[in-house]
């Protein structure tokens, strides 16, 4: 049964954590939106799936955002109570360290459970769904922004295409015009024009390539600055189209695998990904334990002095964990024991700092 103080602490801290999460989510959405817009401009993502990819990227980023939100939220919530002397009044009324640990334990367990759900299931699901959207864009020209009656740039700067009619699923085209530019053997730019009365989009059996088959048309090869044009009439002509794919150099194939699938894969990337997913809830518990001693401040202390110190401590801890993950990816380490040892060390330091704040001090004797 929760006491009045437990409910009070839970309500105040939960509200602060939720407000902090909303602010950080808004910041992250702006950064992700700018990144996705850049990918759309580069032809890596079709505009039709831009907002779906944006939302899935934000879901995937909750693994890092939620622990940081809980850490900062507890710092701000408890820091306000210390500055306004609420904690001093409660301590003088007989509330000790256990009175603060009980609601903090409930909050930490709830956030750690949510982080575990995101890191082990929701984040990989969002990554897989984003990849599936891009794969679906490769199977449909309509997803790449093609619209009947106007000129459209093909993904990956593959050229310009124009169709007068388009089926509902985007796989069957009417009269088609395609213009591409390439360098010839004599290093002279060549313009390739392909026309067809109708066309159809298809992929290879393994899904690696995307092609457009055109029927009953002409193909022109025009070298710029020369008059040796070539014209060819064909019954069927297959043109290769660039695939719509992400230009993110840090893309990790293991990140989109399910947690159970990671257990069946034995390579450095899979081991690093599995270690990061499983240790994310533990990192949340460590950060919330560290927030307890760092949030204590006096009314005359600068408001954001401890907050700056806490943010530096968070980035130092996160950077060390990222370095450990990098060692796993490179294959220098074959297990995640150093990551757990580092978390235990930080947890021990935070627990010692919290205990030293509440330990009874011996009274000093008056000088002679």
**DSSP per-residue letters across 196-242:** ESEEEEEE-TTS--EEEEEEEEEEEEEETT----EEEEEEEEEEEE-
On whether both 228 and 317 belong to a single domain, the answer is no
On whether both 237 and 255 belong to a single domain, the answer is no
Q: Tokens 């990098």 map to which residue?
A: 326
On whether both 274 and 354 belong to a single domain, the answer is yes
On whether both 92 and 23 belong to a single domain, the answer is yes
In Å, how far are 147, 164, 166, 342 from 152, measured between CA atoms? Answer: 7, 12, 13, 53
pLDDT tens digit at each of 368 positions of the chain: 677 888 888 898 999 999 999 999 999 888 888 888 877 666 556 667 788 888 888 898 899 899 999 999 999 988 888 888 777 777 777 676 677 888 889 999 999 999 999 999 998 999 889 888 866 765 655 545 567 888 877 665 567 888 888 887 667 888 999 888 877 777 788 888 999 999 887 776 655 566 788 999 999 988 887 778 888 999 998 877 655 444 454 556 788 888 888 888 888 888 899 999 999 999 999 999 999 888 887 777 777 777 888 889 999 999 999 999 999 998 888 888 999 999 999 999 999 988 887 665 566 666 54
Backbone angles phi and psi of 207, in degrees to 5: 75, 10
pLDDT of residue 277: 92
Contact 302, 317 (CB under 8 A): no
On whether both 167 and 271 belong to a single domain, the answer is no
On whether both 203 and 335 belong to a single domain, the answer is no
Asked if residue 144 belongs to a domain, the reply is no
pLDDT of residue 143: 46
Burial class for 368, CB neighbours closer than 10 Å (0-12, 13-18, 19+): exposed
Count: domains in the chain: 2
On whether both 192 and 338 belong to a single domain, the answer is no
Whether the full predicted model's pTM is greater than 0.75, yes or no, is: no
Domain boundary among 207, 241, 275: 241
On whether both 258 and 351 belong to a single domain, the answer is yes
On whether both 53 and 123 belong to a single domain, the answer is yes
Domain boundary among 241, 275, 295: 241
Contacts 24+ apart (CB under 8 A), 90-98: 90/5, 95/5, 96/358, 97/354, 97/355, 97/358
Asked if residue 363 belongs to a domain, the reply is no
On whether both 347 and 276 belong to a single domain, the answer is yes
Task: Give the angle 57-59-65 at the CA atoms, nearest 5°.
Answer: 100
CA torsion sign for 27, 311, 107, 283 is positive
Domain boundary among 212, 241, 270: 241
Give the containing element (helix H, strand E) for 153: strand 152-153
Contact 337, 328 (CB under 8 A): no
On whether both 256 and 351 belong to a single domain, the answer is yes
- Residues in Cβ contact with 57 at an 8 Å cutoff, skipping those fewer than 6 apart: 32, 36, 126, 130
Distance from C-alpha of 135 to C-alpha of 33, rounded to nearest angstrom: 21
Asked if residue 143 belongs to a domain, the reply is no
Burial class for 213, CB neighbours closer than 10 Å (0-12, 13-18, 19+): middle
Asked if residue 365 belongs to a domain, the reply is no
Give the containing element (helix H, strand E) for 293: helix 268-294
Distance from C-alpha of 64 to C-alpha of 56, rounded to nearest angstrom: 14
Q: Tokens 């700056």 map to which residue?
A: 308
Asked if residue 191 belongs to a domain, the reply is yes
Asked if residue 146 belongs to a domain, the reply is no
Strand pairing category for 176-183 and 172-173: unpaired
Asked if residue 332 belongs to a domain, the reply is yes
- Residues in Cβ contact with 75 at an 8 Å cutoff, skipping those fewer than 6 apart: 291, 294, 295, 306, 307, 310
On whether both 235 and 285 belong to a single domain, the answer is no
Task: Name the residue range of residue 351's domain.
Answer: 4-138+251-358
Distance from C-alpha of 187 to C-alpha of 189, rounded to nearest angstrom: 6
Asked if residue 67 belongs to a domain, the reply is yes
pLDDT of residue 71: 94
């Amino acid at each position: 049964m929760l006491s009045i103080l437990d409910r009070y602490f839970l309500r105040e801290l939960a509200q602060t954590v939720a407000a902090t999460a909303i602010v950080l989510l808004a910041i992250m959405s702006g950064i992700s939106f700018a990144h996705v817009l850049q990918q759309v401009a580069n032809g890596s993502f079709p505009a039709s799936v831009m907002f779906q990819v944006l939302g899935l990227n934000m879901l995937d980023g909750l693994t890092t955002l939620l622990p940081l939100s809980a850490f900062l939220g507890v710092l701000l919530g408890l820091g306000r109570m210390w500055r306004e002397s609420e904690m001093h009044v409660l301590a003088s009324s007989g509330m000790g360290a256990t009175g603060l640990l009980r609601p903090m334990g409930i909050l930490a367990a709830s956030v750690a459970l949510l982080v575990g759900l995101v890191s082990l299931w929701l984040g990989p699901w969002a990554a897989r769904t984003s990849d599936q959207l891009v794969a679906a864009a490769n199977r449909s020209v309509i997803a790449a922004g093609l619209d009947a009656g106007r000129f459209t740039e093909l993904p990956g700067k593959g050229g310009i295409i124009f169709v007068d009619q388009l089926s509902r699923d985007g796989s069957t085209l009417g009269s088609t015009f395609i213009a591409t530019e390439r360098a010839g053997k004599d290093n002279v730019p060549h313009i390739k024009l392909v026309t067809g009365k109708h066309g159809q989009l298809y992929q290879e059996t393994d899904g690696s390539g995307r092609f457009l088959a055109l029927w009953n048309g002409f193909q022109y090869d025009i070298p710029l600055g020369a008059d040796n044009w070539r014209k060819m009439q064909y019954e069927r002509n297959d043109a290769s189209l660039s695939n719509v794919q992400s230009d993110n150099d840090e893309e990790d194939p293991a990140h989109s695998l399910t947690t159970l699938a990671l257990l069946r894969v034995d390579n450095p990337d899979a081991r690093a990904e599995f270690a990061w997913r499983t240790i994310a809830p533990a990192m949340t518990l460590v950060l919330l334990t560290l927030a307890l001693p760092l949030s204590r401040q006096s009314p005359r202390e600068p408001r954001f002095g401890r907050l700056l110190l806490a943010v530096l401590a968070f980035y130092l801890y996160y950077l060390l964990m990222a370095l450990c993950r990098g060692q796993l990816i490179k294959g220098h380490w074959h297990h995640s024991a150093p990551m757990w040892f580092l978390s235990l060390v930080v947890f021990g330091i935070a627990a010692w700092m919290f205990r030293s704040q509440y330990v009874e001090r011996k009274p000093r004797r008056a000088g002679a």
